Structures are given as C-alpha cells and as structure tokens.
Amino acid sequence: MQIYWFTGRSLNDLCSTTQIALATGLNQRGYPVTFINADSPDSHAAHPWKHQPMSAKAPRGLQSRTLAKKMRSWLLENEIGSDSVALLDWRIAKYLIPILQQRKIKWIIIDRGPPADKGILSLLQWPSWKRSWKYVKTNPSGHGCVVSEEHRNFVHKKTGVSLSSITVLPAGVDLDRFKTNDGFQKLTLVYHGKLDRNRGVLLLPTLIKMAKDTGIDLCLKMIGDGDAFDSLEFMAQQYDDLEIHHSLAQDELAQLLSQCHIGLLPMPESKVWTLASPLKRSEYAASGLAILGIDHSGHRLEDGEVEWMKLLSQEQFLSEGVNWLKMLADDNSKLEQLNLEARRYAEEHMSWSHSIDALENILKSVSR
C-alpha cells in the first residue's frame, strides 16, 4: 500500500510535528509515503519519504485553493495505483476526492481543526469544511480523522457524519527526545508555542508578578514567535525573572523543558482551543512537568483528572494558580512526586505509537 499525503501544511510550520510523527511511524512499519505540498525539497531531505513540491504563491485566503488546483493537475497527470490511499487536508479535499473516486482510490480526511480564521476568511472556509465532511457522510467507505473526542463530537453534530466514520488521532510525544533531567535550581515555569494574543499568553507575566508578590521565588520562560512577542519582550524589561525567547529547534526545546518544573496552558475556552489536542501538553508531561492551565475540554485528559495537572477557570486562574504554586514551592517533595507522575503518565498514554496504531487500522480498513 502506497500512502499519498496531500497537505497545505509545511514541515517548517510549528504545527507540523503531528504529520512528521505519523508519516515517520507509517514509513517505519513498511508503508511508502509521498508528501505532496508547497515545501521546498530541502525541507523533506532528511526524512524517509518521497516528496512532490508544489508552488502555492497566492494572496492570503487563496493559498489553499491555488495549491489544491495544482494538486488536482498533478493527480490528473500521474498514475497512482488502485491499492494506494490518499490522506487529504479538509482544505483541499473537495478538489481531489472526485478524481480519486473516479479512479477507485481510497481516501481519508485529516482534520486537525475546523476553520480558525475570523471575519470574511472564516465565512469562506466553513462551507469548504462542511463540504469535505459531506464526502465522508455520503461515501460508504469514507473516513475522517480528528484530534480529540470533543472534536469528533463537534464534527458529528455539525455535519451528521456517523461517529463510526470518525477516528481520533491525538497529538503524541517523542518519549526519547522529551524526557526528564536535573531541574533549574529556582522554581521554573515555562510556556512554549505560538506567542499569539488569542492564546492567553499576555496573562502569564501577571501570574508571575502576583506569585512573586506573595514571596514565591520563581521565574518564567516563554518560547515562541507571534503577534504578542514584542509586548512580552517589553514586559520582560519590567519584570524580573521573565525571559522571552524566539522559537527553538526541537532538541534545544526538549533540553530546556527537561530542566523546568511546571508547564503552562493559558489558552482560553474558545472553539479553536476546546476542540484541540495540544501537543505542548504531551511534551510537558513527557519532560516530567506538572501543568497549570485553563479548564476546558481541550486541556482535560480524556481519562479524568490527575493530580499533576491543575486546571482552573479563567476567573480563578491567577488567584488560585498562585495558591497552587505557593503550595508546591513550600513542598519540594510534593513537586518532585508530581513531576514523576507526569512522566509516568506520558510513558503509558502519550506515545505517538497509539495514534500510529489508530491510523494504520484505518488504512487497513478503507483499503479492504
């Protein structure tokens, strides 16, 4: 079975970890994979799969349409074996599925999240999202993948696609890369990911200031890039023990996380975050970090509450968060226990192998 992955995502994107991990896992299990996207060949040179680059230069809002049309042309010009399976981002699925079905080639929708843009872009994207899932609903062998149980229920409710046709592929973590290490001497909190305002990151310097005002000796490291970077960098000049860094390579990030104590999940309760399966949650746990975050379905673990993860309402995040931090600062043995429990949980539940198993099972099912 040959796997063709048609995607609008770039491997240079911060959100590309999932497709890299899944594609690598499939390749290691003997499935040849070919990526078709807009990356330069150099971006894929170090990976074990084939790559077909596409140009997608277009104004914002038209990139997916432009790329999808070029993918369609490529598909029309190239022979793909009938035993192949195509993985399709929902943004480009409607352009390719008619051709794939005509050639009797099986396909699977990969939905890492519904439209997240605002304004006119969102109005343009929602019909495309629904149309892509309609293909799953109307095709007996159609199938789609989502990132969380909440996301699965959302797709079912909005499109009528049966739950049996939707599989959850949650974000996992590389347990060999992200692991525990000797921590910094001072209690160290960390956030990594996009430093965008809509992720609640501007709340975190206030958390640190309030904690220090109660006598807690701690620091916060924030790693990433985004529209809040300049504001955070300015705050770092006013706040002691607040460090802002641009995005790091995965190995550098893993090394830094391994020396921290508590990871932060400040993303608020909005649709884009409540449907998510945050990769950083898994990376924090694998690095042996306790977690402090906002309480909503996108942050909760599906098998219930755990002591090493403290989730609070938006209203209580600062005040109760400071109280929790003070409790841990005053009880080092308790913090060490939570750090060990987080790593143990990651080893048992958060390996990428779980998602790779699920995807392999779908591939076998649709190709019968």
Give the three-class secondary structure for 168: strand
For residue 319, count other CB atoms closer than 10 A to its CB: 11
Choose between 368 and 134: higher pLDDT: 134
CA pair distance 133, 122, nearest whole angstrom: 17
| Number of neighbouring beta carbons within 10 Å of residue 161 | 22
**Measured between alpha carbons, how far is 258 from 40 in angstroms, rounded to an integer?**
32
DSSP-based three-state secondary structure for 291: strand
Helix (H) or strand (E) holding 188: strand 187-192
Hey, what amino acid is at 84? S
Is pLDDT above 80 for 171?
yes
pLDDT grade, residue 278 (50/70/90)? confident
Q: What is the mean pLDDT of residues 156-177?
A: 94
Average pLDDT, the chain: 92
Give me 22's structure tokens.
């899944």
- Placement of tokens 């993860």 in the chain: 309
Residue with the two structure tokens 């449907």: 275
The per-residue pLDDT for 87 is 97
Work out whether strand 262-265 and strand 290-294 pair parallel, antiparallel, or are unpaired. Answer: parallel
pLDDT in tens, 283-316: 999 999 999 999 999 999 987 889 999 999 999 9
**d(C-alpha 156, C-alpha 339), whole Å:** 37
Average pLDDT (56-68) is 75
Q: CA 325 to CA 333: how far, in whole Å? A: 14
